Chains A and B, each alone.
Chain A
Amino acid sequence: MSLRSSDGGPAAGPPAAGAPVGRTADRRLVPRKRKNFLGRQPLGLLFSAPYVIYVLAVLAYPLGYAVYISFHDFFFTAPRVKVDRPFVGLDNYIAVLSDPAVQRSFANIGVFLVINVPLTVGLSLVLANALNRVTKLRTFFRVSYYVPYVTASVAVVGVWLFLFQQNGLVNALLGPLAPDPSWLTNSWLAMPTVALYVTWKQLGFFILLYLAALQNIPDELYESASVDGGNKWVQFWNITVPGVRSASVLVTLLATITGANLFTEPYLLTGGGGPDGASTSPVFLMYQKGILQGNPDVAAALGVVLVIGVLLIALIQKRLVGGKED
């Protein structure tokens, strides 16, 4: 098929440049008459082809490859070197699940999620609700909330390191209340500080999501509630919160995925997952085991375990947050 037109005939010319009216009327019948096996505009296939080929080559194939790697004794070789990569069954999975560092990293993600998800949902809903009510300086507020989201994490990590270091501004403000050892080198506080950082960084995006959901709640609901004497708390709990439930499902899911993908923040904020593994994330271990230590098979198995974990958490969250609607 040529790119220009389905039959390469007169239709390929400039559209109707001086074409007599009668011919135009004739041509109208053409698409209806020809029952094309590929549909009325088979060129759609050609238009979709780059996308489909890309998805198959760069997403679908590696997905299968990841599972393949995780079941074999896989190691790096020079390009095009044929080596034997025996099937090892669940060996890599057993290695992953029995590794204390891996168990620790999953516990760390648990701590992260317990802090990050409720904070994200609560703060972004409250701020979005406030943003929806205020008319003055709206644009300024909206922009200030998404500035951290659009800025590179590496850049804002710089200023957080500066703020939360041993004698940084935060500790200067806290005075004797400052934790010792300080935030990012404290094995109890390292992960919560990372969770706080990520909440702050991503909140703007979730505020925008909730803002979109709030637009769909009809104003009549608020009106009738205020006629019935419901104060703004009653309105918030009985109209706003249920009204944005589907957005809440999405926000919890996306926040969970962010947590499971955690790498940059613990890597840079806590010098690669310290102190003593207190802020190591599973993705950091994938990098360490797979690429630094040359065990891509174990790392791939870790990836599969992590994704299964995310799916389980997502299912539980959907049950909890989704409630009756689904």
Chain B
Amino acid sequence: MSVIDAATAANNENGKNDDAGRPGALPPGHGGSTVEKRRNLGIGSFVLLAVGAFVFLFPFYYMFIGSLQTSPDTSVAGAFPNPANLTGENYANINASVDLLKGLVNSGIFTGGVILFTVVFGLLVGYALAQMHFRGKGFVFGMMLLVQMIPFQLLLIPLYVMIVRDYGLADSYIGMILPFAINSTAVFVFRQYFMQLPSTLFEAARIDGASELRILWQIAIPLVRPAIVTAILLTFIGPWNEFLWPFLVTKDSSIQPLAVSLANYISNVAATASNPFGAILAGACVLAAPAIALFIFFQRQFISTNIGSSVKG
């Protein structure tokens, strides 16, 4: 049955991409010497990568240690945990100034809303562009390419005038979500994956009388699940980390995403706190943890080929 063939083909495609050992993917009888060569060259590279990894990870380690220190120890010894100086108090302190749970929930609603719109509308237009023939398809495709080049600096002021001043959507989730609700990168990812599916599959379903929506829902979407995970991961980073726009749109702290309330704490309140860095680092850990956990859990889906194909097109 062609559906199953296509499914396995799609799965193989995406499973293999992640395979770390690129030399291993060479055809047999061709790779032997290259693998040896690569291994020999590996030692210098390995040291370089290890130094790099330290530079990249140390601030996160230091962030966590710092968030547990009663008084900030900025000497070299402070980088190692000292049981006498450890406390959870910083978390209580930051939570007293910034409602951490509410901030996380607001970040979650903002991010979730963006992802929902991106995935639903992205799947529809991605499928249409890849597997349907209709008038204006070229126009939609060209529009998708152009949209990726629109710089946000140009939109900042008019969007602020429209959303905050004209439509009165300040301090609302919809006002936060609106400028990010459709992501052309995600559309591109979906289109690429739908293109890989054989069009005969869809022709057969059409002949059998299935409606386009049904074909999309029951045949196409189950075959491109990895694309949905990729799109969610790519989309997640934007709103979860976004600062400027929600900062402009929200003045009411009860609706602010955690990044905004933490930033306000850093620039306003911190000076008056007893251990400001402890509290800032505690808040930073709470803001950083969900994203890091998500990306470590889904690291197999967040790989170079996905990034490359989504950006380069």
Contacts and interface: CB of A to CB of B under 8 A. Distances in A.
B207 A126 contact: no
Interface in B175-217: 178-179, 181-182, 187, 205-214, 216
B34 A222 contact: yes
B157 A296 contact: yes
Nearest to A297: B157
Given A41-B132, A219-B34, A261-B153, A155 B262 contact: yes
Contacts of B165: 76-77, 79
Given A133-B41, A158-B266, A296-B157, A24 B208 contact: yes
A300 B181 CA distance: 23
Contacts of B152: 261
A48 B295 contact: no
Given A150-B292, A283-B244, A134 B46 contact: yes
Contacts of A303: 153-154, 156-157
Interface range on chain B (Cβ under 8 Å from partner): 35 or more
Contacts, number: 378
Contact of A143 (B22, B237, B260, B295): B295
Contact of B125 (A47, A145, A151, A263): A47
Given A51-B124, A261-B152, A212 B56 contact: no
Contacts of B158: 61-63, 65-66, 69, 300
A291 B296 contact: no
Chain B residues touching A, majority SS: helix
A88 interface: no
Interface stretch (A12-20, A95-103, A112-120, A185-193): A12-20
Interface in A48-96: 48, 50-52, 54-55, 58-59, 61-63, 65-66, 69, 74, 76-77, 79-80
A127 interface: yes
Nearest to B219: A15
B191 to A, nearest CB: 11
A147 to B, nearest CB: 6
A238 interface: no
Given A148-B56, A205-B307, A63 B135 contact: no
Interface of A: 3-5, 10-13, 15-16, 19, 24, 27-28, 31, 37-45, 47-48, 50-52, 54-55, 58-59, 61-63, 65-66, 69, 74, 76-77, 79-80, 126-127, 129-163, 165, 167-169, 172-173, 200, 203-205, 208-209, 211-213, 215, 219, 222-223, 226, 232, 246-247, 250, 254, 257, 260-261, 263-264, 267-268, 271-272, 282-283, 286-287, 290-291, 296, 299-300, 303-304, 306-307, 310
